[in-house]
Amino acid sequence: MNSNPCIRTQELAYHYDEEIPALNGISIEIPENAYLAIVGQNGSGKTTLVKHFNGLLKPTAGQVWVYGQDTRNVPVSQLAQSVGYVFQNPDHQIFCASTREEISFGPRNLGLDIEEVRSRTEEALTTFGLVQYADFPPAMLGFGLRRKVSVAAVYAMRSQVLILDEPTAGLDWRSTSELMALTDQLHRQGHTIILVSHDMRVVAEHALQTLVMHEGRVLRYGATREVFQEAEDLQRAQIAPPQITQLARRLSSYGLPQDLLTVSEFVAAYKSLREAHS
Amino acid sequence: MAAIGIEQLHFAYPPLLPGAEPSEILRGINLAVERGEFLSLMGPTGAGKTTLCLSMNGIVPQSTGGVIRGRVNVLGHDTRSTPVADLAAHVGIVYQDPESQLFCATLEDEVAFGPENLGLAPQEIAERVAWALDVVGMSGYRMRSSTQLSGGQKQRVAIAASLAMLPEVLILDEPTAGLDPVGQFEVFSVIERLCRERRMTIIMVSQDAERIAEFSDRAAILWQGVIAAHDTPVRVFEDIRLLRQAGLAAPQVSEVAQALNRSYGTAHHFVLLAEAERELQSELAGGRGAL
């Protein structure tokens, strides 16, 4: 990760109504090529925060810069070229008569020529395994497929920053793994990934950095492995680390490292501990 | 008699495109659920879990059309011939997206809607509304609008709206997707309590292996149109091969048990965090000599 922030906020505050701020005093930097998870309770401000990154919301107070530009001075249509946003509910985003049309909508609106739109659309259909549904109305597909269509549609825009709001909610393990493998691949290709998620297993296995939101503020922001060690803060935000991290912590008095994040890390550490004992 | 008995159920929706052949999504489902049982239903996306749920309240095939064979019996009612409105008095359903089911100005109206449509006396309606909101922990919000609630709260209101009908069978179609961990826990806890205290029969569609292991009596896997497994969570989660083939997750601790059993020939069967802690602790403690 280099130190150049692609997104920066300074004392960002946002109010939906006058009384309670949805965001309050958020000052963060998200470096280029980060793989960041934003976690926190429903209503803690996660979605409100990420909607500032593509200009869907403008700060009530404070500032947000995307690639150095103050979002108050840049139209959403322009921000959309660098920041893609996949909605939490695919149905808030799906509206075309066919999956192919749905996916080509974004690229067409970027003003690309017809050939480029077509090649991006076909590539996205293939990448997301949607070729067989290309001519179907996406609204008639099952939930998991609608979710894939919504991600593919944003993927086809080739935005440098991709925000995925609860991308794995309602997906089975295989669809989750496939979608996260694609996300990992986009990260390796240099994209900045911002993942809003309640699935701590997904966060632990994929995100390199984690930001914990609580009541409109940032409670923790750092390397995922370190953040999942902050038991008190997590509890305050009503987040539980993945089951495997909890197990490692409960067995730490026997010499197991506390900061394990995945099943394979756990099994490897447990085996070496067992073998050391024998 | 079982609360729910499904025998050789086959179902195909009407084809999406005119002239196309209907393709069968359910291909011979056999499932029996006892009264007061908490059954979790897992299955890959698109396996037909929602379709199976809708066959239990008559929406499939009465509202959807399509080709159906076999029998679905819920509390003695054949769901193909008993009108959906009559079944609704016995079978409650909570959908994945609570917003698709909430539409009134206040939560009180929302929860009263079902009982009002049963033609109950105002006093009875008021009592049911108060009770249902209390069960889901939303009593303090009765005059609020659902638009002011968090996702977990909306889902609890949707559950309350079903509860106010006092159903004997409650079907929940992935009610925790999109909820934060606390919201997920709240929903599972409320449902478990209804099951234990009121002997309500629960069918809960979920992908959350860890909570299924913790809360449900039995788990079933719907895969390729049939029930590929139906047993206690321990037995279902032991079959990692089937889970992987069907594209489903096991609790993380089950994966640990399987990996250790493969490496050391041990016989760990834990599916819960506390069980894993206990067994591995004793292995590590006793093992300082024995390992």
Walk me through the domains of chain B, giving residue ranges and CATH numbers.
4-249 (3.40.50.300), 251-291 (no CATH)
Residue A38 to residue A211: CA distance in whole angstroms = 5
Give the distance from residue A134's alpha carbon to the nearest chain B alpha carbon, in angstroms.
13
Residue A121 to residue A100: CA distance in whole angstroms = 7
Strands ordered across the beta sheet of A209-214: A83-86, A161-165, A192-196, A35-39, A209-214, A217-223
Give the distance from residue B46's alpha carbon to the nearest chain A alpha carbon, in angstroms.
6
Q: Which domain holds residue A264?
A: 242-278
Mean predicted confidence (pLDDT) in A23-35: 97
Indicate the pLDDT class of residue B9, thresholds 50, 70 and 90.
Answer: very high
A14 and A96 in a single domain? The answer is yes
Residue B29 to residue B222: CA distance in whole angstroms = 9
A17 and A72 in a single domain? The answer is yes
From B92, B101, B23, select the one nearest B53 (Cα to Cα). Answer: B92
Chain A residue with the nearest C-alpha to that of B259: A267
Instruction: State which H helix or E strand residue A46 sits in.
Output: helix A46-50
Mean predicted confidence (pLDDT) in B31-50: 94
Q: Which residues on A lie below 8 Å from B148 (Cβ)? A: none
Residue B177 to residue A170: CA distance in whole angstroms = 5
Residue B213 to residue A154: CA distance in whole angstroms = 36
Predicted pLDDT at B269: 92
Q: Which residues on A lie below 8 Å from B181 (Cβ)? A: 198, 200, 238-240
Kindly provide the ipTM of the predicted complex, given to two decimals.
Answer: 0.87
Indicate the pLDDT class of residue A96, thresholds 50, 70 and 90.
Answer: confident
Instruction: State which H helix or E strand residue A12 sits in.
Output: strand A5-15
> For residue range A123-149, what is the model confidence (pLDDT) as tens digits?
999 988 899 999 998 888 877 788 889
Q: Which of B181, B251, B284 is closest, CB to CB, to A198?
A: B181
Give the distance from residue B185's alpha carbon to the nearest chain A alpha carbon, in angstroms.
11
A57 and A142 in a single domain? The answer is yes
Residue B150 scores a pLDDT above 80: no
Q: Report the CATH number at residue A38.
A: 3.40.50.300
From B27, B5, B42, select the one nearest B210 (Cα to Cα). Answer: B42
A199 and A275 in a single domain? The answer is no
Mean predicted confidence (pLDDT) in A183-194: 94
Displacement of CA B237 from its chain's centroid (Å): 17
A132 and A225 in a single domain? The answer is yes
Residue A141 to residues A32, A91, A136, A144, B16, Cα–Cα distance (Å): 35, 11, 8, 8, 10
A272 and A141 in a single domain? The answer is no
Q: Do A263 and B252 touch (CB under 8 A)?
A: yes
Q: Do A198 and B178 touch (CB under 8 A)?
A: yes
A234 and A247 in a single domain? The answer is no
Indicate the pLDDT class of residue B31, thresholds 50, 70 and 90.
Answer: very high
Mean predicted confidence (pLDDT) in B246-262: 95
Q: Which residues on A lie below 8 Å from B251 (Cβ)? A: 243
pTM of this structure: 0.88
Residue A271 scores a pLDDT above 50: yes
> For residue range B61-92, what is the model confidence (pLDDT) as tens digits?
999 999 999 999 999 999 999 999 999 889 99
Predicted pLDDT at A139: 85
A vs B: CB pairs below 8 A? 125
A230 and A158 in a single domain? The answer is yes
Predicted pLDDT at B17: 76
A233 and A252 in a single domain? The answer is no
Residue A22 to residue A18: CA distance in whole angstroms = 10
Indicate the pLDDT class of residue B287, thresholds 50, 70 and 90.
Answer: low
Mean predicted confidence (pLDDT) in B176-196: 84
A156 and A253 in a single domain? The answer is no
| Domains contained in chain A, number | 2
Q: Do B150 and A42 touch (CB under 8 A)?
A: yes
